[in-house]
Each structure stands twice: as structure tokens, then as C-alpha cells.
Structure 1
Amino acid sequence: MTSDEQPTVSAAMDPLDDLVLAVRGDQSADASDYELPPAVTLDQASEILGLTPAAGRELVEAERYPVPVIAMGPQTHRVGTAHLIRHAGLSRVREVLRVQG
């Protein structure tokens, strides 16, 4: 993939039938270059955004987190990976999640 090409991100199923985001640099390729989870923990999202986990939790409580947050319970939150890619960039998300591709 050259620097001016944009990857294609789409929903797919991994071999264990879990939903993933499949990222393809070559849109004509059959297989994805790598896969990302559809959502990450609040701590992972905070790291991607350059925040400490404590600062991330404070922003969520103040309803000022920079991207939409999904409340899974009183103390459990998830953040959609697509929102993080739009806000921080694909390379930063891959770096923090340590995704090889």
C-alpha cells in the first residue's frame, strides 16, 4: 500500500466466528492485511488518545470524553475502534493495540 492509498475497513468474522474490523490496503485482495477488535476498553482507548486511564475515567464521568463511549455497566466502558481511527489515526490505533500487518 502506498502512502496516498487509503485502507478499506469493513466488518468480518474471524476463524472463531468473532466480529472483527478487517483492514485491507489492497481492495482487490481476498484476505485482510490485519484485523482490529470492534471496540476496546476505556484504558486502551485512553492510551490511544494520549490520556492516562485515570484522566480518561474522569472525562467519562464528566461526559467530556473526546469520542463516544459505550457504558457496559456501572464501571465498565468500551470505545468503538472506528471512532478512535477517525480521531487518532489508524497507525496510532495499531501501535497501541500492537497489531502487526
Structure 2
Amino acid sequence: MTADDPTPDAPPPAPLVAPGMDPLGDLVLAVRGSGPPYPDYELPLTVSLDDACMMLGIYPSDGLVAAKAGTFPIDVIKLGTRFRVSTAVLIRKLGLEGVRDAIRLED
């Protein structure tokens, strides 16, 4: 508890997630933290089906079969012969921290 914050051990405010653009002009989901130690960062709008499967704990081959059959546990986006999954849908399913941490592991 401080003079500025009368509530002891108050949880940090929820981050704001909104569409944005990165320095190269690509569309991203911009996550605005509430200041140190909660920094701002960006997430891609979509991830590959394989990445989504990893986050959901599904074998990629099983995920591909499910996506083709229309039984994947969340909505998929079909682009030609490829499948993508919306990052926003993954955030709703897994939570922001889970998706962020999984995407950072890929870098």
C-alpha cells in the first residue's frame, strides 16, 4: 500500500488488446501493458495450424485431419490449401499469457 495506491497488493490492470501496425506496416494485435513491469508487445493476427495445435496440445497431424473435417476445437481460416487460426480466438480460449508465451517460444 502506498500514498498513490490505497489498496494493498492490487492486481495489475488488464492489458488492452487492439489492432495495430508494426514498424514495417504489417497488421498486428497490439497489446498495451500498464507500464513497467508490464511492457507493450505485438502478436500476429493469425498463427499456423501447427502452432495452434501446439498451443492446444493437439498433434499437428490430428489437427490437420480435424481442420479438414470441420471438427477442429476452434474456428480455422482456410487459405487455399493451408489453414490459419486467429490469434484473438486463441486468446479467448487459452488466455493472453498462454498465447504470448507460446508465440515467444517460436522466436
Structure 1 residue 66: Cα displacement = 1.3
CA deviations on 1:34-85 (whole Å, 9 max, x unpaired) are 00000010001111111111111121122111111110012x0111000000
Runs of 4+ in 1 over 4 A off after TM superposition: none
Distance in 1 separating the partners of 2:97 and 2:58: 17
How many residue pairs get matched?
93
Structure 1 residue 25: Cα displacement = 2.1
Distance in 1 separating the partners of 2:41 and 2:15: 11
Please give the TM-score of this superposition, normalised by the length of structure 1. 0.83
Structure 1 residue 88: Cα displacement = 1.0
Partner of 1:90: 96
CA RMSD of aligned residues (A): 1.8
Structure whose alpha-carbon radius of gyration is higher: 2
SS at match of 2:62: helix
Partner of 1:44: 51
Can you give the 5+ residue segments of structure 1 that lack an aligned partner in the other structure?
none
Distance in 2 separating the partners of 1:56 and 1:3: 36
Distance in 2 separating the partners of 1:87 and 1:47: 14
* Structure number with higher relative contact order (C-alpha < 8 Å, ≥ 6 residues apart): 1
